[in-house]
Amino acid sequence: MNTVITGLQWGDEGKGKIVDYLTESADVVIRGQGGNNAGHTVIANGTKYVLHLLPSGILWDDKINVIGNGVVVDPIGLCIEIDRIEAQGVKISPEKLLISDRAHVVLPFHKELDAAREIALGDQKIGTTKRGIGPTYADKVNRCGLRMADLLDRPFAEALITRRTSEVNEILSKYDLPTFTAAAVIADTYIAFERLRPYITNTIPVLHKAWKAKKNLLFEGAQGTLLDIDFGTYPFVTSSNTTAGGSTTGTGLPPTAIESVIGVCKAYTTRVGSGPFPTCDEGLSEYLHNLGREFGATTGRPRGCGWLDSVLLRFACMVNGVTGLAVTNVDGLDEYDHLKICVAYDIDGIRHELPPADRNFWNRAKPIYETLPGWKQDTTKCLSYSELPKDAQAYLARLSELCDAPIAFVGVGPDRKQTLRL
């Protein structure tokens, strides 16, 4: 079964954990968008792994992991990540990891350009991860980006980097940010590229061969639907299509290859970075932070936390074509007396069950809540759905009803084993 794993909220839903769990029965795990702005946490056999560019299937032996054409790859960051994950005892080889020769390259100055954009935006800043993601995708769309394959043609790559460095330096100097010499950018990029060279290939025929051979393909989404450049809370979004469609344009596998879409959401909502968040709740944020939970895997920033928002989830299920829900972090609500679910927004007295596009809408959206009883029991040791407290089952059933999608997985703890399959 070829399955897309996609985030239904503002990222950090627990996609890494679900991908890792499903990799056991998959053959190939593929990333199709985003870059090292992603931070996917997997806890397996007592060890915690945080993955940024490496697909979460990398922790399993004998599985192929592909970084597809739609991903923006920071070669220096990827080398550091490979070293870190290898130091944790995971073997990474060109048989196990393939990088698309069509993937765009994040260059050192893209990160500074990211910082410059944020400074220019002032109090309207996006709160990016400062990994250079937006500027790299902007260069891609502006047709002045550098692809992995271009690095094979060194004179061409050097000319492109030299031209872009001088253009970028003009912008950076306006903001008193460090400027670059083209020679340093070229040297640093090539040191990393030479290390990555054995992994770089035309991944499209490899993926098609696997598809035709009826191998199980698992597409690992990064970020979440509300961060999607088209469907998210624009402009407070990332710069790629994070929704299921990004899995095809970002890999070269066609829509007809996809057989199911698992939408991952938390049992509550979190968001890191700026932008609207109607169900944000200070009490719940403080409660979860005091438990040591909900700090960003990439930047360490505390995530804002709030009640489950079914307006967003309903929309996310629609645009992704979700066939099953994976609800994680159910255990995060174990001690709460009463739980709120936002079922609609009230805007100027009108009820909205889907988010409209108008950005002014968000400031006026008042959540309409339904309150459900909490279960006040430890769920972390539950081994099956039927072992969950009845009130937890009722909460999940209501969530499923509001989104019109069946529950497929439930997370009751961060460990690989704390995943219940329905």
Q: Would you name the residues annotated as active-site residues?
A: 12, 40
Q: Residues 395, 316, 123, CA angle at the centre, nearest 5°?
A: 105
Per-residue binder mask for Mg ion (CB under 5 A), 260-299, x = binder = -------------------------------------x--
> Interaction with ligand IMO in 220-259: which residues (CB under 6 A)?
222-224, 227, 238-239
Place of tokens 């609800």: 327
The C-alpha atoms of residue 285 and residue 281 are separated, in whole angstroms, by 6
> Interaction with ligand IMO in 91-130: which residues (CB under 6 A)?
126-129
Count residues near Mg ion (CB under 5 A): 3
> Interaction with ligand IMO in 299-318: which residues (CB under 6 A)?
none
Q: Is 332 in the site for Mg ion (CB under 5 A)?
A: no
CB of 224 to ligand IMO, least distance (A): 6
Binding partner selected for residue 128 from Mg ion, ligand IMO, ligand GDP, none, CB under the kind-specific 5 to 8 Å limit:
ligand IMO
CB of 331 to ligand GDP, least distance (A): 5
CB of 260 to ligand GDP, least distance (A): 18
The C-alpha atoms of residue 54 and residue 323 are separated, in whole angstroms, by 26
The C-alpha atoms of residue 289 and residue 301 are separated, in whole angstroms, by 11
Binding partner selected for residue 23 from ligand IMO, Mg ion, ligand GDP, none, CB under the kind-specific 5 to 8 Å limit:
none
Burial of residue 66, with CB atoms counted within 10 A of its CB: 0-12 exposed, 13-18 middle, 19 or more buried: buried
Token digits of residue 263 = 């939408």
Per-residue binder mask for ligand IMO (CB under 6 A), 42-81, x = binder = ----------------------------------------
Residue placing its CB nearer to ligand GDP in the complex, 12 or 118: 12
The DSSP H or E segment spanning 137 is helix 133-141
Report DSSP state, residue 295.
B
Burial of residue 276, with CB atoms counted within 10 A of its CB: 0-12 exposed, 13-18 middle, 19 or more buried: middle
Q: Is 13 in the site for Mg ion (CB under 5 A)?
A: no
In the bound state, the residue with its beta carbon closest to ligand IMO is 273
- Figure out which of the listed residues 71, 272, 330, 405 binds ligand IMO, where binding follows CB under 6 A: 272
CB of 17 to ligand GDP, least distance (A): 4
The C-alpha atoms of residue 244 and residue 125 are separated, in whole angstroms, by 27
Mark 103-128 as b/e (b = at least 16 C-beta within 10 Å).
bbbbbbbbbbbbbbbbeeeeeeebeb
In the complex, the residues that contact ligand GDP under the rule CB under 6 A are: 7, 11-17, 39-41, 43, 297, 328-329, 331-332, 411-414, 418
Residue placing its CB nearer to ligand IMO in the complex, 131 or 314: 131
Token digits of residue 385 = 């759905």
Of 218-226, 259-267, 313-321, 342-350: span binding ligand IMO (CB under 6 A): 218-226
Q: Is 134 in the site for ligand IMO (CB under 6 A)?
A: yes
Cis peptide before 235 (omega within 30 of 0): yes
Pairing state between β 338-347 and 366-373: antiparallel
- Figure out which of the listed residues 2, 3, 6, 7 binds ligand IMO, where binding follows CB under 6 A: 7
Token digits of residue 333 = 């609500």
Sign of CA dihedral 40, 41, 44, 47: positive
The C-alpha atoms of residue 15 and residue 225 are separated, in whole angstroms, by 12
- Figure out which of the listed residues 71, 106, 133, 185 binds ligand IMO, where binding follows CB under 6 A: 133
The H helix count followed by the E strand count for the chain is 13, 20
The DSSP H or E segment spanning 263 is strand 260-266
CB of 310 to ligand IMO, least distance (A): 20
Residue placing its CB nearer to ligand GDP in the complex, 50 or 206: 50
Interface with ligand IMO by CB under 6 A: which residues?
7, 10-12, 37-40, 126-129, 131, 133-134, 222-224, 227, 238-239, 272-273, 297
